[in-house]
Amino acid sequence: MEELEKCQFGHRARLAPSPAQERLLDDQGHAARALWNLLHNWWTMLPKHRRTLAAADAAIRQARTDPEEGLEWLAVLPAQAAQAVLKTYFQAWRNCWEGRCGPPNFKARFRTLMCVDVPQGRDLQVARVHRRWGMVNIPKVGRVRFRWTKDLPVGKRADAGNRITGARLVKNALGWHIAFRVQTLEPVPAPHCGPHVGIDAGVKIPLALSDGDHQDHGRPRTSGGKADRDKWLTPAEKAKLVRLERRAAHRKSFRKPGERSSRRLQRTYDQIRALRATAKRRSLDWQHQTTTRLADRYGTIVVEDLNIVGMVKSAKGTVEAPGKNVAQKSGLNRAIHQEAWGRTVQMLTYKTARRGGALHKVPAAGTSRECHSCHTTTPGSREDQATFVCKNPECGWTGNADLNAACNILHRYRTGHALVPAAGRAVVRRARRVKPTTAR
């Protein structure tokens, strides 16, 4: 009997719909957004004793079928997708009540990411037709091609334990994408025997490792040592972005207060969003490749328990007590947001768990001011952002400040100062025993 565990992960692929199919997808996306807004109005207007899931479901069914309601255009959205919007809206209120986020808001047309859910995997009928292309069935749209970049459990490979459970259609500045929800049964990984490593997240060096193998973007920086805001774009793309931003500012100057944006201005905004989306895709690709390489190499990874929300607070202050160095703090906040430390830790968490390793967090206070050689904190040791010089007469260690912080992070874990390990979201740690014949 082989011990297997149920793993759930997502895979995102780019769709290649025809112009007619793209119009149908846009109609479904706008219908899903409008349904969310209608639910929000319904929720806020009704008394509390009438706000139930059954009442909302009945209202949606009546609006989709009754022509007197004037909402027959909701029928362009599949029934399962409409139910998914309802469940997502109610889940948003549960998250608000439990203190995980704020209340749900109205979804504007141009500031909202369009998405449509396909809750049932059997409706997709995924098939591979080419080495680089696959076909998926989208309800009320038809068969649509998508880029095949990962082997999915389809055809003979699909069974009760290895299958696609659903998908979500998402549109960004680069077009429509499909995010598959995949469930597989994989052998429980053996404990990872790799070495331990401490990681210090920073702006100048994105990931500084305690063994000196720092992970950098490999892209040039601007003068003065400052992080480049558009470092993931080529010089030609940066120049194009500057031209588009100037063009958008020029066209926006002719718009009167309260007047809708012109089509030319919206087209310029779409081109800017496309460049931003390209930069984000390259950043995500670097994060995935780097975290996969670290999870394969190290058995235990130790990071700081950073309060990122508190680190990126504005320094402008109030009218009575204005802040200092507001522009410098604003640039630092943008650089921290661009590095996406929280997403890096999330990737490391589930990737180390799937390989038998573990990720631990240690308190972050004082890791950059303490000397890892003598473990003393002496004022003035951190002379600048890049160099650490220990002022202890008995030590005098000098070296890279990020390397010193990474060594302190690893030392705190080895001395028993680790916090509770973070649980991976993508891996369900519920082992199941199945027959060897069903193992793949």
Give the pLDDT confidence of 277-291 residue by residue, as tens digits: 999 999 999 999 999
pLDDT surpasses 50 at 431: no
User: How many H helices and E strands in the chain?
Assistant: 9, 14
pLDDT surpasses 70 at 16: yes
Going by the DSSP 8-state scheme, the letter that residue 233 receives in this structure is S
The β-bridge relationship of strands 300-305 and 358-363 is: parallel
Nearest to 139 by CA among 153, 158, 122, 154: 122
Q: What are the tens digits of pLDDT across the range 309-351? A: 888 888 877 767 787 878 888 888 888 888 889 999 999 999 9
How far lies 280's CA from each of 143, 284, 286, 398, in Å? 29, 6, 10, 36
Higher pLDDT, 265 or 310: 265
Residue-level pLDDT at 224: 39
Q: What are the tens digits of pLDDT across the range 51-82? A: 888 888 888 888 888 777 778 888 899 999 99
Residue-level pLDDT at 67: 74
Residue 308 confidence class, pLDDT cut points 50, 70, 90: confident
Average pLDDT, the chain: 86
Amino acid at 35: L
Q: What are the tens digits of pLDDT across the range 232-262? A: 899 999 999 999 999 999 999 998 888 888 9
Instruction: Enter the tokens of residue 294.
Output: 């670290």
- pTM score over 0.85: no
Amino acid at 69: E
E strand or H helix that includes residue 227: none
β partners of residue 427: 7
Instruction: Enter the tokens of residue 390.
Output: 């220990």
- How far is 146 from 132, CA to CA, in rounded Å? 9
β partners of residue 431: 5
- How far is 228 from 395, CA to CA, in rounded Å? 36
Phi then psi for 241, rounded to 5 degrees? -65, -40
β partners of residue 197: 301
- What average pLDDT does range 30-47 have in this prediction? 92
Amino acid at 313: K
Cβ-based burial of 305 (10 A; exposed 0-12, middle 13-18, buried ≥19): middle
Q: What are the tens digits of pLDDT across the range 356-379? A: 999 999 998 888 888 888 888 888
Residue 217 confidence class, pLDDT cut points 50, 70, 90: confident
Going by the DSSP 8-state scheme, the letter that residue 425 receives in this structure is S
**What does the chain come to in residues?**
440
Residue-level pLDDT at 319: 67
Kindly state the percentage of the chain with pLDDT values over 90: 48
Cβ-based burial of 347 (10 A; exposed 0-12, middle 13-18, buried ≥19): buried
pLDDT surpasses 70 at 228: no
